């Protein structure tokens, strides 16, 4: 893992080092400091720090209502945060929009909208084309290429409402690919999709990661975390843990994140060993 990340780190900081010459280390693709978000009186996300490793593929996991999607949306400025700062490759996020691709939850839009598959993918070119730029032949080619990467080229002219849920999700991913970003933020890309789509999506994301891009997914299926991701960010309103899957995705951290909602048997099924007893103050290393 570390061997693969080293060259991508060098590749991805070429631009950012000149943008922030005083940074001591290469600035991460996404860094959040002290973010608090509230709907009404109750905080949905409280004082969260996040530091995404360059060239990594990170799962944001936590129980329902833990603030996973909210954190992502607030980082992008889609929902307002009470406090906190967000930097992308060391710069304020407002300046770095071009390098971020965002895939919202599939259920967040009305798929009855009058658009064809290729129209939705072309929306990913908005920052390049601007208000009035025409779609050139090579832009159409790029749309087609992005659809091919998610195996949806045959559906380019189809109305989006006529697609299955998995196909719709792949169209959203194709739109993100059209942005040709360095940081991909995806909100539950595997929610309610068929097995073929799940395989197609993970294939595309892994290829992006191997090409040096950084992937962050809000994820809900604990059984696939180890197989799909190399890093994990565990949240339940506050940050619980963050780091490589191998060292962070542990029974103790899962228990801390999900509390009583995750049964000991479920954790055992993940192959993470036994759950620490609730009265034990710390996980194994400090047990006397």
Partner 1 sequence: MSAEFVQLSLVPLLIGTLAAMACAVPGNFLVLRRQALMGDAISHVVLPGIVAAFLITGRVSTWPMMLGAAGAAVVAVVIIELIRRIGRVEPGAAMGVTFTAMFAGGVLLLEQSDTSAVHLDVEHALYGNLESLVWLAADGWASLGDRAALADLPPELLRMGMAAALVLALTALFWRPLKIATFDEGFARSQGIPVRLLGFGLVVVAAIAAVAAFDAVGSIIVIAMFICPPAAARLMTNSLERQLGWSMVFAALAAILGYVLAGYGPGWIGSPHAVSASGMIATISGLILALACLFGPARSRLSAPSEP
Rounded to whole angstroms, the Cα distance separating 193 from 230 reads: 22
Residue 110 binding partner 1, by CB under 8 A: yes
Concatenate the DSSP letters of all residues of 181-231 into one string. Answer: -SEEEEESTTTT--HHHHHHHHHHHHHHHHTT-EEEEE---GGGHHHH-SE
Rounded to whole angstroms, the Cα distance separating 109 from 194 reads: 19
Nearer to partner 1, 217 or 267 (CB): 217
Residue 92 binding partner 1, by CB under 8 A: no
Rounded to whole angstroms, the Cα distance separating 52 from 178 reads: 23
Member of 26, 76, 82, 191 binding partner 1 (CB under 8 A)? 76
Residue 175 binding partner 1, by CB under 8 A: yes
Smallest separation (angstroms) from partner 1 to the CB of 81: 13
Residue 85 binding partner 1, by CB under 8 A: no
Residue 97 binding partner 1, by CB under 8 A: yes
Smallest separation (angstroms) from partner 1 to the CB of 223: 22
Residue 284 binding partner 1, by CB under 8 A: no
Q: How far apart are the first and last CA of the chain?
A: 33
Rounded to whole angstroms, the Cα distance separating 101 from 105 reads: 13
Member of 3, 132, 265, 282 binding partner 1 (CB under 8 A)? 132
The piece of 40-48, 126-134, 217-225, 238-246 that touches partner 1 (CB under 8 A) is: 126-134
Quote the DSSP letter at residue 116: B
Partnered with residue 39 across adjacent β-strands are 42
Which spans of this chain sit near partner 1 (rule: CB under 8 A)?
73, 76-78, 94, 97, 100, 102, 104, 108-110, 112-116, 119-120, 123, 126-127, 129-132, 159, 161-162, 164-167, 175, 194
């Amino acid at each position: 893992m570390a061997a693969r990340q080293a060259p991508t780190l060098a590749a991805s900081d070429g631009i950012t080092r000149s943008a922030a010459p005083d940074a001591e280390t290469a600035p991460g693709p996404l860094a959040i400091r002290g973010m608090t978000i509230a709907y009404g009186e109750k905080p949905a996300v409280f004082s969260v720090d996040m530091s995404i490793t360059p060239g990594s593929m990170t799962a944001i996991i936590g129980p329902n209502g833990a603030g996973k999607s909210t954190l992502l949306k607030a980082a992008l400025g889609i929902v307002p945060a009470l406090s906190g700062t967000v930097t992308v490759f060391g710069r304020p996020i407002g300046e770095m929009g071009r390098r971020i691709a965002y895939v919202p939850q599939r259920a967040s839009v009305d798929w009855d909208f009058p658009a064809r598959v290729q129209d939705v993918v072309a929306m990913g070119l908005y920052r390049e084309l601007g208000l009035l730029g025409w779609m050139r032949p090579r832009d159409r080619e790029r749309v087609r290429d992005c659809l091919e990467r998610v195996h949806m080229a045959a559906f380019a002219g189809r109305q989006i409402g006529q697609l299955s849920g998995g196909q719709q999700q792949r169209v959203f991913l194709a739109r993100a690919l059209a942005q040709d970003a360095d940081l991909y933020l995806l909100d539950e890309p595997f929610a309610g999709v068929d097995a073929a789509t799940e395989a197609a999506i993970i294939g595309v994301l892994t290829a992006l990661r191997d090409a040096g891009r950084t992937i962050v997914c809000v994820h809900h299926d604990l059984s696939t975390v180890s197989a799909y991701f190399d890093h994990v960010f565990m949240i339940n309103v506050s940050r619980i843990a963050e780091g490589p899957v191998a060292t962070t995705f542990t029974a103790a951290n899962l228990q801390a994140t999900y509390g009583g909602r995750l049964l000991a048997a479920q954790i055992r099924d993940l192959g993470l060993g036994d759950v620490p007893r609730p009265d034990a103050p710390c996980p194994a290393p400090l047990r006397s």
